[in-house]
Amino acid sequence: MIRRPKRVASKQSGALGAGTCNVALLGFGTVGSSVAKILCERSNTDLRLTHVLNRNVARKKVDWLPSSVEWTENIDDVLSSNAEIVVEVMGGLQPTEDWIRRAFKSGKSVVTANKQLIAQRGTELVSLARRMNQQIQFGASVAGGVPVISGLHEGLAGDELFKIFGILNGTCNYILSQIETNGIPFATALREAQKLGFAEADPTEDIEGLDARAKLAILARVGLHCNVKPDSIMAHSISAIDSVDFEYANQLGCTIRQISRAELQGDNLFAAVQPALVELSSPLARVEGSQNLVVATGTYGGETVFGGHGAGGHPTAVAVVSDILAIARSKRSAMTTMTEAPVEKTPTVTAELTAKHYLRFLVKDRPGIIARLATILSHCHINIDAVVQKPGCPKSHLPFLITLEECKASLVEQALQKINSLDFQVQPCLHLPILE
């Protein structure tokens, strides 16, 4: 868990006081170039960009940066420089982890937007920064320009948080919004997202929930003080969602979103990333396009909502520069000694959720299908709530819906192991929780 020093208030929030803080930038892609632009265009700060490290400098170099900025492909040039803060926006685990560790040992603090690195190595890096009397800030690693990390760590520090949930991946939210709004297949919505730059050429990290899983692990550490490895969190793909699912969800007064949830229950942490039905009245249902939304629930303060643009060069760069300013202010006020961090719990992580459930089947129609399914569900001690069938569909590919009364997710999965082997199934049943 990162510990932020107390800040000294000033009449001009952008002003740092006497002296200039030198900043080196590792990476000059979409986010890195936006960070450089903000640093060079803001006139009310004493931040000075001194170095830019990137591969193929001759190709990446731009003429709008001051001539005093040194371009390099060698990390040693940065580590031996007079830069006080190193900004890492390259991504990946290596060589970025080694470079950040070397930056601390060289007497430099670090700002990073690297969610996978912080999710997997955050605890160790924070500990090393503390030993080296340096700081590491990672506000841009979750929800881009939405100040979730600082909000959880500072704004809600007086509460005892026990649940964090929300929409953490703008790519998935954009795709689901397109399926819902335009009634198009998943594959078409994905191609459109790639064409517009919302999805990568290889969208696996987003579609399979791995991106959101890393962000959820960070939020669990920052907000719930739980040391959680990303691969201990269950993640399910959104690729099986079809336009018919939005039609059925709407009949239930719901829509479908990729939801990330972490909730402390004693020594257990329920944590999962999965598509789920949410009520149309929920704030989650109103998040459209590539926006993000996070809801933190505390014992004393109730629910606090953070929302806004979670991706893109400029929103993410704003979060990066905000972290740079936080470190620079603490250096200028000589408040570099950090208070003791809260003790992190290491809970048992589970995906077991008791909820209502949505089962959408696609079958070759024939008599007795509902009876067969009801028998299997009954043997697993599961009660059916409702059966819904869209009229006019071909008998060879007939979609219909069964909703279940509240039960454990493991019971439903047990039943589906038997159901998915039945010969009338055209494709495996789609199983989504219905969140209230």
Per-residue pLDDT tens over the stretch 359-370: 999 999 999 999
Higher-confidence residue: 392 or 98?
98
Task: Report if residue 16 sits inside a domain.
Answer: no
DSSP type of residue 151: I
Q: Are 167 and 220 found together in one domain?
A: yes
Task: Report if residue 89 sits inside a domain.
Answer: yes
Q: Are 258 and 279 found together in one domain?
A: yes
User: In degrees, to the nearest 5, what angle opens at C-alpha 115 toward C-alphas 201 and 108?
Assistant: 125
- CATH assignment at residue 130: 3.40.50.720
CA distance to 209, 317, 355, per residue, from 326 (Å) = 31, 14, 42
Q: Are 64 and 102 found together in one domain?
A: yes
Least confident of 36-45, 181-190, 240-249: 36-45
Task: Report if residue 343 sits inside a domain.
Answer: no
CA distance 221 to 258: 21
DSSP type of residue 145: T
Work out the average pLDDT over 417-434.
95
Residue 215 appears among annotated catalytic residues: yes
pLDDT for residue 10 is more than 80 = no
Q: Are 170 and 240 found together in one domain?
A: yes
37, 115, 215, 331: the catalytic one is 215
Work out the average pLDDT over 30-36.
93
Per-residue pLDDT tens over the stretch 396-410: 999 999 999 999 999
pTM of the model: 0.89
Per-residue pLDDT tens over the stretch 290-305: 889 999 999 999 999 9
pLDDT for residue 138 is more than 90 = yes
**Residue 288 pLDDT grade (very low, low, confident, very high; cuts 50, 70, 90):** confident
Per-residue pLDDT tens over the stretch 305-355: 999 877 667 888 999 999 999 999 888 776 544 444 555 788 999 998 899
Q: How many independent structural domains does the chain possess? A: 3
Q: Which domain holds residue 387?
A: 354-435
Work out the average pLDDT over 110-127.
94
Task: Report if residue 11 sits inside a domain.
Answer: no
DSSP conformation letters of 365-415: --TTHHHHHHHHHHHTT--EEEEEE-TT--GGGEEEEEEEEEEEHHHHHHH
CA distance to 111, 249, 389, per residue, from 254 (Å) = 39, 5, 17
Per-residue pLDDT tens over the stretch 59-71: 989 999 999 999 9
- CATH assignment at residue 399: 3.30.70.260
Task: Report if residue 6 sits inside a domain.
Answer: no
User: In degrees, to the nearest 5, what angle opens at C-alpha 360 toward C-alphas 356 and 361?
Assistant: 140
Per-residue pLDDT tens over the stretch 219-245: 999 999 999 999 999 999 999 999 999
Q: Are 387 and 358 found together in one domain?
A: yes
User: Which residues on neighbouring strands pair with residue 400, listed in sequence order?
Assistant: 361, 389
User: Which residues on neighbouring strands pair with residue 390, listed in sequence order?
Assistant: none
| The pLDDT value given to residue 183 | 94
Q: Which long-range contacts does 374-378 make (Cβ < 8 Å, 24+ apart)?
A: 376/415, 376/418, 376/419, 377/402, 377/404, 377/415
Task: Report if residue 134 sits inside a domain.
Answer: yes
